Amino acid sequence: MSAAILIEAFDRLATAGFVMGPEWEAVHNLCQAHEGEQAFDWGHPLCHRIEGDEWNAGYWYRRAGRPVAGGEFAEEWTGMRAVLTGGS
């Protein structure tokens, strides 16, 4: 599946301020539904960081082959978005 749907969902979550709620639920469900696809496995840990579940986030970073992120959620999403759209 194209990462475009993941980008759209995360953009909505960003607009909502990266808080738990319907947008978070939609992104998390999307990541779970596409488990094993690189982009979705990479998005999954950001969901768990937002949730406050650092252990689970660490698991998903390892599974996606990505370094564990820290800092602001918006900063992490900006970097991820650039890679997913081919901007970096």
pLDDT tens figures, 11-70: 999 999 999 999 999 999 999 999 999 999 999 999 999 999 999 999 999 999 999 999
Q: Of all residues in the chain, what percent carry a pLDDT higher than 90?
A: 92
Do 80 and 6 meet the contact criterion of CB atoms below 8 Å apart?
A: no
Q: According to the model, what pLDDT value does residue 88 have?
A: 56
Residue 47 token pair:
């969901």
Q: According to the model, what pLDDT value does residue 86 have?
A: 87
